Structure 1
Amino acid sequence: MRAFVIEQGELKITDMPEPTAQKGEVVVALKAAGINHRDLNLLKRHGNKPEPLIIGSDGAGIVESVGEGVTNVSVGDEVIINPALRWFANSDAPPPEFDILGMPDHGTFAEKIALSAEQVEKKLPHLTWEEAGGLALPAMTGYRALFTKGQVKKGDTLFIPGAGSGVATFLIQFAKNIGARVIVTSRSEDKLAHAKELGADLAIATDSDWVKKLENETVDLAIDSVGAATFNRTLDIVKKGGRIVTFGATTDDVVDFNLRKFFYGQYQLFGSTMGSRDELRELLNHMEQYEMHPVVGKVFELEEAQEAFDYLKGAKQFGKVILRINQ
């Protein structure tokens, strides 16, 4: 089968052996897979190991075969992949055995994948393959940050620095679905316009004066995945006693901030990452209730995976970058 792998320090398309379903496993013939920023960093982590590794965390497809003891899905079922390995019950933090699909396990940038049957969920019928294939990782990340950690509620104002990522597009939709007000930033006028079309109430330039622009707003919750470049600016516009959730650091991951200002302001800071199977099932119910569609930014064929990586590195996308497979 064709797959996009890391082998001896290089990314390439190659042929890999077809997987088989062992006890408790399923083989999924993939239709689409989503590229995440995590995938861009795996080349350095994998190093020059000679064994090829299929990367990729998100995907959706059709169950081709099932191993002994599998009862939750059958051959022919349409499913999405849950990339949060071995994290089933919602908890304050992931369990020690938690890992993310795509390293060290073979991932989704291939024609087929074998994995535990506990890691698949039924695909929502109203979604296209491209929408379903890039859903789980960013949707779980956004859902946990917004609801489990951020405790957003109707009438709250949510602030999101950086409007174009897959997670940001889910945050905008989730928040608007339950009646929150949403403010976003971007350096791109095009992304600001797209965010408004998606439902954002206010979209401002990243290089503008946020304090001045938002002087008439009360920001209850901010969800910041940018890191050092925006953390202190975000803190400046969150209300006293407000909440900040961080789940990433696309800029520097070391942040200096005024501790006295922080504790006098009674701010609340939460770390978050990915999500549990419980949260994935909750968000799928949410998406079904609101007939919600993920935002697909651009679609590439599997054989164009390197081009898709370069596109994501350039931060050109609004929404998910998807690889189309077996279609």
Structure 2
Amino acid sequence: MKAVVLDAFGDPQCLVPRHIADPQDRPGWVTVELRAAALNWHDVLVRRGRYRSPLPHVPGADGAGIRTDTGTEVVILPSLFWGDRTDAPASGFEILGDRIPGTYAHYVSVPEECLAPKPAVYSWEEAAALPLVGVTTYRALVSRAGLGAGESLLIIGAGGGVATMALALGRAVGAQVFVTASTPDKLDRARAAGAAGGVLHTAPDWPEQIRERSSGGTGFDVVLDPVGLWDRSLRALRPGGRLVVLGANVAERADMDVRAFFFGQYSLLGTTMGGPADFRGLLGLVADGEVPPPPIARVFPLDEAAEAHRLIEAGEAFGKIVLRP
């Protein structure tokens, strides 16, 4: 089969298309003929060697396609070996494309429990773009932060996959959603997608600027930080608010005022990708028509995976980047 193979860690040019052996059948696993594979920042970290993937390796977490055994159209949950608990994954948890060969290929093999019917109203590209970012965001906002109708949500960094999905899910549960963005264009796109307002986070006082736009100027019930700006994000919370964090691509360390934190009665919630229960909850919202399809920024042929990685690293795309095998 044709696949994109990583022979060494490094720049996008390390992603090389070539032919490799098809996946082998094994009990409890299903081979899927892929129709689309979506990119995530996680894929960039795999390419750079963060997860010490075995080489040579096929990256890619997200995908949608057709089961080769039944012909059913499916979407893939890239959360492998989650375990029985819902509060945190088991010790053997990993993401598809970390060590198990991923979706940058014509075929991929996954545990049968990681397959769900493709949402009928979604295209192949939209379906492929849903799982990782969708289940991650659902877990962050619903399972962890408990965001509910009538509450306010601030999303840090409009334009990325998590932020775009968070805007859709926040509105789906009845919250009023605000955003920060790096460019006026991303801010305009977020407003067009339903954001109540926002500010550019290029100014040093952006937490105070956006806080003034909250109800009564007291701050937001929930702040979603997918980039690692905890110390600044905290300044936009209302007393007693919840800061839910799930990424560190801008900063991996944060200095926080401990005394101000506990006097503010804040909650700091760490989260990563969700499991099967989160996926069921997400697909329930999708089936009810509450979640619009993820916006697609651009679609590349599988052979152009390196160029797709350059685009995601540039941080200029609004929406998901997709490969078409």
Tell me whether 123-132 or 14-23 shows the greater mean CA deviation: 14-23
Q: 1:301 to 1:157 in 2, by over 3 A?
A: same
* Partners of 2:65 and 2:73 within 8 A in 1: yes
Percentage identity across paired residues of the two chains: 37
Q: Could you tell me how far apart the structure 1 residues matched to 2:113 and 2:277 are?
A: 12
Pick one of 84, 89, 94 that aligns with 1:99: 94
* Partners of 2:80 and 2:94 within 8 A in 1: yes
AA in 1 matched with 2:257: N
1:175-233 Cα deviation digits (max 9, x unpaired): 11121111101111111111111111012111243313432513100010111xx3222
For residue 46 of structure 1, report the CA deviation from its aligned partner. Answer: 7.4
Q: 1:263 to 1:289 in 2, by over 3 A?
A: same
Q: Please state whether the residue corresponding to 2:6 is helix, strand or coil.
A: strand
Q: Could you tell me how far apart the structure 2 residues matched to 1:189 and 1:44 are?
A: 30
Q: 1:52 to 1:240 in 2, by over 3 A?
A: same
Corresponding position of 1:169: 164
Q: Could you tell me how far apart the structure 1 residues matched to 2:251 and 2:174 are?
A: 33
CA RMSD of aligned residues (A): 1.7
AA in 2 matched with 1:311: L
Corresponding position of 2:240: 241
* Partners of 2:297 and 2:321 within 8 A in 1: yes
Runs (4 or more) in structure 1 with deviation over 3 Å come to 46-51
For residue 88 of structure 1, report the CA deviation from its aligned partner. Answer: 5.3
Q: Could you tell me how far apart the structure 1 residues matched to 2:101 and 2:183 are?
A: 35
Mapping of 1:110-149 within 5 angstroms? 110-149=105-144
Corresponding position of 1:84: 79
AA in 1 matched with 2:211: L
* Partners of 1:297 and 1:318 within 8 A in 2: yes
Corresponding position of 1:299: 299
Q: Could you tell me how far apart the structure 1 residues matched to 2:220 and 2:54 are?
A: 50
Q: Please state whether the residue corresponding to 1:251 is helix, strand or coil.
A: coil
Pairing 1:7–2:7 present: yes
Q: Could you tell me how far apart the structure 2 residues matched to 1:84 and 1:47 are?
A: 15
Aligned residues: 314
Q: Any unmatched runs of 5+ in structure 1?
A: 66-74
Q: Could you tell me how far apart the structure 2 residues matched to 1:150 and 1:318 are?
A: 25
Q: Any unmatched runs of 5+ in structure 2?
A: none
Using structure 2 for the length normalisation, give the TM-score.
0.92
Corresponding position of 2:150: 155
Corresponding position of 1:259: 258
AA in 1 matched with 2:266: Y
Pick one of 20, 35, 52 that aligns with 1:31: 35
Q: Please state whether the residue corresponding to 1:155 is helix, strand or coil.
A: coil
Corresponding position of 1:215: 212
* Partners of 1:21 and 1:115 within 8 A in 2: no
